[in-house]
Every structure is written in structure tokens, then in C-alpha cells.
Amino acid sequence: MSHADSHAAHPKHLAHHFSDSVQQAESAKLGMWIFLLTEILLFGGLFCAYAVFRAWNHEMFYSAHKFLDVTLGSINTVVLITSSVTMALSIHAMQLGKKKQTLILLAVTLLLAAIFLVVKYFEYSHKFHLGQLPGKYYTFTGVPGDNPHIFFSVYFAMTGLHGLHVLGGMGAIIWMMVRTAKNSFSPEYYTPLELTGLYWHLVDLIWIFLFPLLYLIG
């Protein structure tokens, strides 16, 4: 194949500073993984705070965690895991060139993310109502043990940051739906979709640890 031919066959998605599509996709994923590393360390600070405060206030953490609703937490875990499956399946559909299926699966993922946040909203508003608020705003008197506001500070910081990530993920999913609808992706090129998937699975991953630590063992 002559140079002119290969240039004519140059895929539209391939930027000129990459030698081929594989190198381009791998570079993009490398960047995404480094970003995910920083995300793990960001949440790591909160997991560390959880570990320190739990060790210092073991019994209070145990009493306070009983005020979290295990049923709602379990529902949200199932919702988030299912959304991870639909996210993975949407990429699978694009690999096979099924655009419509990709769009439907992305829409389902988005819907599940919204359900997660609605459940979270009900949990939060119930706690606001009872005065189970972080730090100095804490007014609830039903938890035995000292300084129960610390548990709720940790709870709101961890689930709040996670909730913001769910919102961010929803934004990315909407963006991917628009680009899929505009035919930006094909079985040869769907890197943004894959990166969105990686981000969404990380959000699921964080919740996989938040749920048992906060709701189940406290």
C-alpha cells in the first residue's frame, strides 16, 4: 500500500500525532487510569478518616450505623451494580456496531443512576429531618455513645462526594448518548464511551466499599 493510499484510508477519528488507532486508544486509557488513580487517592483520604474515627469511637460507630437504612442501602447497591452491567453492555453493543442498543443501554444506565440519587435524596432528607447532621449542626439525641455527630460527618462526607461523582457520571453518560446519536462512534472507534465506562465502574467500585463500611458494620 502506497503512502497516498494509507493516508486516504486514515480514519477520521485518528489524530495526526498518533501512529495508529490502537496507540491512540491506549494513550487515552492510560490518561484515564492515571485520573482514576487520583480519584482512588481522593476517596482514600475519606476512607482513612473513616478508619481513624472508627478506631477511636468504635462503639459509637456501631450504635450510629444502626440509624442507616440497610434496605435502602441494599437497593442502591443493586441499582448501582445493575447500572455497571448496563454500562458494560452498552460498550459491548457498540463493539458490535449496534447503535440503537448502545443508546438504549446508556439510557437505562442513566435512569438507574437517577434512581440511586432519588433513594439517596430520601435517605438524606430523613436524616436532615431528624437532625442527624454533620458536625455542629447535629441535634439528634437518639444515639447512645459519645460524639455521634462524627459518624454522620463521615457518612455525609463519603456519600456526598460519591453522590457528586454519580452526578458527574450522569453528565458524562448524557454526553455519550449525544455523541452516539450523532454517529461519532463505530466498532473501530468508541474510546470516549470506554472511558466513561471506566469512570462509571469506579463510582460503582467506591460504593462497593462504602456500603458495607457505613451501612453494614458501622
Partner 1 sequence: MSHEQSHPHHIVPLKIYLAVGAALLILTAITVAVSFIDLGGFNIVVALAVAAVKASLVILFFMHLKYDNKLYMIIFLVAIVFLAIFITFTMFDTLDRGVINPEMDLHINPRAKIYQNMLMDTAAVSSDTLPPPASGH
List contacts with partner 1 (CB under 8 A): 1, 6, 9, 11, 20-22, 25-26, 29-30, 33-34, 36-37, 40-41, 44-45, 47-48, 51-52, 55-56, 70, 74, 77-78, 81-82, 84-85, 87-89, 92, 95-96, 135-136, 138, 141, 147, 149, 187-188, 197-198, 201-202, 204-205, 208-209, 211-213, 216-217
Residue 72 CA: distances (Å) to CA of 75, 123, 158: 5, 8, 17
- Cα atoms in the Cβ-side hemisphere of radius 13 Å centred on 51: 7
- 149, exposed or middle or buried, with CB in 10 Å at 0-12, 13-18, 19+? buried
| Pick 103 or 195: Cβ nearer partner 1 | 195
Residue 39 C-beta: closest distance to partner 1, Å: 9
Record the cell numbers describing residue 215, joined without a space. 451501612
Asked if 61 and 50 touch (Cβ cutoff 8 Å), the reply is: no
Residue 16 C-beta: closest distance to partner 1, Å: 16
Residue 113 C-beta: closest distance to partner 1, Å: 15
Asked if 204 and 83 touch (Cβ cutoff 8 Å), the reply is: yes
Residue 25 C-beta: closest distance to partner 1, Å: 7
| Pick 59 or 188: Cβ nearer partner 1 | 188
Residue 175 C-beta: closest distance to partner 1, Å: 20
Q: How far out from the chain centre does Cα 181 lie?
A: 23
| Pick 30 or 178: Cβ nearer partner 1 | 30
Asked if 133 and 141 touch (Cβ cutoff 8 Å), the reply is: no
Residues in the chain: 218
